[in-house]
Amino acid sequence: MKLLSTFALAATIALTGCQSTNAILENQPIELFNGSDLTNWTIESNGKFHVSNGVIKLNRGTGWLRSNDKFSDYVLTIEFRFMEEGANSGIFIRTQGTMHEDEKGYPNNGYQVQVMDTLEGNALGKLIPYGAPEFQHTFDLEALKRAYKPHGQWHTYQITAQGETFSIVLNGEVVSTATNIKNLDGHIGIQGEFGLLEFRKIEIIEL
């Protein structure tokens, strides 16, 4: 009887340990950029993206760089820096692969987190709709001013998409939130908008 109890206890511990390990593995970061090439990405509309010295370089141009896979609920971490003052780009999230019929070749159903070297107007960190349904958006300019770094320095976005809510953290500061988000999955992407920028460490943790 004691022997049986010992076996049962050992089995329970083993099972619990296995479940914990699986839970940890399920929350491991997925590297979307391997640091070497654009495997698992597609360049749309002749965007000017290439990899050199472990970073994705955006050399002006338009179009966008689209993840081959779609994702739903996740925390996206992406590092970027402006290579000139006023450089302009954007991060697409939960964005469909359909396109505007114009020369820029941007998607027409998704959301863009602004990546522009400015604290005014459509400032860094704002959420911009690209044909997606209406949503509610809050933006904290004072948090952006605290988080901002001049061109040439690396910025870090942590963008959380969970259900109908987005949260955008720049360099540790919450700069934007959005609710009533209706696209519940889609591609991740980088926009080309005539700017010179670099990107590295693109990874997600699925929720």
How does pLDDT run across 121-164, given as a tens digit for each residue? Answer: 999 999 999 999 999 999 999 999 999 999 999 999 999 999 99
Which pLDDT value is given to residue 74? 98
- Residue 30 to residues 25, 43, 148, 190, Cα–Cα distance (Å): 10, 20, 27, 17
Q: What is the average pLDDT score of the chain? A: 90
The answer to whether the beta carbons of residues 93 and 76 sit under 8 Å apart is yes
Written out in words, the top-level CATH class of the domain with range 32-206 is mainly beta
The structure tokens listed for 47 are: 């965007």
Cβ-based burial of 57 (10 A; exposed 0-12, middle 13-18, buried ≥19): middle
Per-residue b/e over 128-166, b at no fewer than 16 CB within 10 Å? eebebeebebebbeebbeebbeeeeeebebbbbbeeeeb
DSSP H helix total and E strand total for the chain: 2, 15
pLDDT for residue 23 is more than 50: no
Q: Which residue has the higher pLDDT, 18 or 39?
A: 39
The residue behind tokens 């619990």 is 16
Confidence label for 27 from pLDDT (cuts 50, 70 and 90): confident
| Cβ count within 10 A of residue 193 | 21
8 CB-near residues (< 8 Å, 6+ apart): none
Q: How many residues does the chain have?
A: 207
pLDDT per residue over 65-84, tens digit each?
A: 999 999 999 999 999 999 99
pLDDT per residue over 83-106, tens digit each?
A: 999 999 999 999 999 998 888 999
Q: What percentage of the chain carries pLDDT values higher than 70? A: 87
- The predicted model scores a pTM of 0.86
Which pLDDT value is given to residue 25? 54
pLDDT for residue 7 is more than 80: no
104 CB-near residues (< 8 Å, 6+ apart): 45, 62, 63
Which pLDDT value is given to residue 26? 67
Query: What whole-number distance in Å separates Cα of residue 195 and Cα of residue 191?
Result: 10
